[in-house]
Structure 1
């Protein structure tokens, strides 16, 4: 769903088809890439070993990147051929804008936006927008199943506000408890726990530390959001903490920065905000959720698998039953 949502923004079409393996292969490659990025590489500590690539990490990364760029490149080539044949979209999508921008002047110089540049940029967008959102949705449902009372409160709010219809984007503003659940999920399980690395532009003194120019900096937002100096009972999933608070994730409150802050904060925040709320609300409103036989809320595994993104070590396994509108009426 996330993949097709961003795919429609870029290509004006669904790009994952149950009958085809391309989308699944891309998603799998994305997860492997994000995990590989954060693995310890001997060649980083002993540069003279880089040519040897003793762990084969460079070779693996090249293979994964070639596969992912090939996926986006095929879609770009398809659009270029359509345009040559006079076939154009009524409404421009992201790819149309990029192709129209080719050869334009930028500050007096050609933008020099090649077909390969466009393919790489699109691959990065697909990669950034899919794994992060799906991981957060999985964590949200995990925490709701671990905390049945919180789940019941969300269900009650949805039944009162949404009622018999499907969840729509306009409903989200009237669902404050759901918003608090999303915030609490992002606090305990930030999608990118160390954010995107920063680079120091000049020699800097900060809080008694000397940081040389070009040092790579990681901001540990996972630890910041669990700091007892800023949060009461920080390890407990408690959405109520946000109901009477103006703390938000838009970069103005430094104790809560799942999307970063400043000019380099996540450009996908509006997309993620809509997708997370609408998806989680729809999943809860449309389905009855239960655990496998023998599994109780306190036995759900919440171990994390560290990579560039924060995934569950073991995927969440649940039993879903489609909920009828009559059942929603009965709960109202």
Structure 2
């Protein structure tokens, strides 16, 4: 009997000690046993988290199964995570399905913060994303946009609605395939399933997977929900495409000076990646980031821009007037023309504000115990940065739900990672390195669409019928396809 009294006493005093040394965690909503706060996420976690943060604060604690997490939702708390404590917060937690798709974290976006990550980032920035390299690919962008414009002219002559979601994603995919892979999307193994595979990859990479929160039964749950099978389907389609692209390079020595050519040289030891010898899985992991990030930055941004322009006729008229005044009767539009289009720049900023492509940044993991805003963030805590909440914050933006490009007039705020009110591409060490490449295509595409065409909705459809809802994934595209009819202008 005395034995059990001793056990009870030990448990009692241990609980007292635990309470006395309990961390001062950020406040958060009540949680259910076992599942924690997962039931509160819904189909659009960025919106659910924003609503919860309005009640529980700009830095909020959540529990997902056995994982402890915090969510930063305002410019100040986001700045702490992405700048003040960038080093301590820039690693990643291990996530089951991103690990699968990235060949066990051989990529740049999901890999842990390490020497390997630093070498890969340096290589991709220097070899692919410098201003000089971005400019060197200008002829490819103009060639592909030219083909896209010809398709629009044909559609205009037939007065036929165009699915802009599909066409713009395919345009950006065609550019990325030529720039990074040295091949044409048309005729490749991804041509017919491109949109489905890319969107599927984004859904898998942005999922709240049971396998990450419930170590024992999580994978069984994911098999039941279909997430596991979706991941395998996406992985096999992408892997087959990478194999095809690499094989073409191996068989045709004339395909060179692109990212695959560089990575193959590293595999052969002809050039180095610091102390690392690349394997084929390293090559494919790096290619995955290039393919996915390059596609969604441009394609979906232009889709959202056109969505807001068609639903705001005043803004559309003003943007077109500026473009047509600056461009006048030029037959060839160059990327340098954007520098003179001040209102169009505001339209693009407002598009990125109201529809950030990555509403929840890929979660980070605290590498050590830190303190943010007076609260304890223990080591191994997952950290979510809710960009969607920052961009919709009424204390930061007046009328945040309204599309008002003029809010950026006489404003120094930009989207390049230095202003924490507007962070569509993140900030700090994990900021998207392909910003310049993606936005170059956004600019030249949007200028062409506004200069060469007027736009109208399909017959029987009104502005109020245009759906503004987003899909959820790592990237959030427009849920319902944007169907518009291009109308030829007199100089097209």
TM-score by length of 2: 0.61
1:97 aligns with 262
SS at match of 1:320: strand
How big is the shift at 1:105?
4.5
Cα RMSD (Å) of the superposition? 1.9
Deviations 1:12-68 (A, max 9, x none): 343235xx6632313311101212333443444432114534334223202211211
Cα distance in structure 1, aligned partners of 2:397 and 2:236: 43
Cα distance in structure 2, aligned partners of 1:46 and 1:116: 28
Cα distance in structure 2, aligned partners of 1:2 and 1:88: 20
How many residues are matched? Answer: 317
- 1:272 maps onto 2:438 in alignment: yes
1:299 aligns with 465
1:242 aligns with 408
More off after superposition, 94-103 vs 40-49: 40-49
2:398 aligns with 232
Cα distance in structure 2, aligned partners of 1:304 and 1:51: 28
Deviations 1:94-116 (A, max 9, x none): 22222222324554x3x321223
**Aligned 1:10-159 pairs, distance under 5 A:** 10-17=180-187, 22-52=190-220, 53-83=223-253, 87=254, 89=256, 92-102=257-267, 103=269, 104-107=271-274, 109=275, 111-159=276-324
Cα distance in structure 2, aligned partners of 1:209 and 1:48: 31
How big is the shift at 1:185?
0.1
Cα distance in structure 2, aligned partners of 1:51 and 1:235: 38
Alpha carbons of 1:11 and 1:21: their partners in 2 closer, same or farther (altered >3 Å)?
closer
Alpha carbons of 1:299 and 1:88: their partners in 2 closer, same or farther (altered >3 Å)?
closer
Cα distance in structure 2, aligned partners of 1:227 and 1:75: 44
How big is the shift at 1:80?
1.4
Deviations 1:153-202 (A, max 9, x none): 11111111111123210100000100100000000000111122222111
2:7 aligns with none
Cα distance in structure 2, aligned partners of 1:56 and 1:272: 32
- From the CA coordinates, give the structure whose radius of gyration is larger: 2
SS at match of 1:315: coil
Contact 2:363 2:382 in 1 (8 A): yes
Alpha carbons of 1:221 and 1:238: their partners in 2 closer, same or farther (altered >3 Å)?
same
Cα distance in structure 2, aligned partners of 1:54 and 1:210: 37
Cα distance in structure 2, aligned partners of 1:132 and 1:270: 10
SS at match of 1:321: strand
How big is the shift at 1:321?
2.3
Cα distance in structure 2, aligned partners of 1:45 and 1:195: 18
SS at match of 1:305: coil
SS at match of 2:225: coil
**Aligned 1:285-296 pairs, distance under 5 A:** 285-296=451-462
- 1:164 maps onto 2:329 in alignment: yes
TM-score by length of 1: 0.89
Cα distance in structure 2, aligned partners of 1:94 and 1:105: 14
Q: Greater relative contact order: 1 or 2 (C-alpha under 8 angstroms, separation 6 or more)? A: 2
Runs of 5+ unmatched residues, structure 1: 327-332
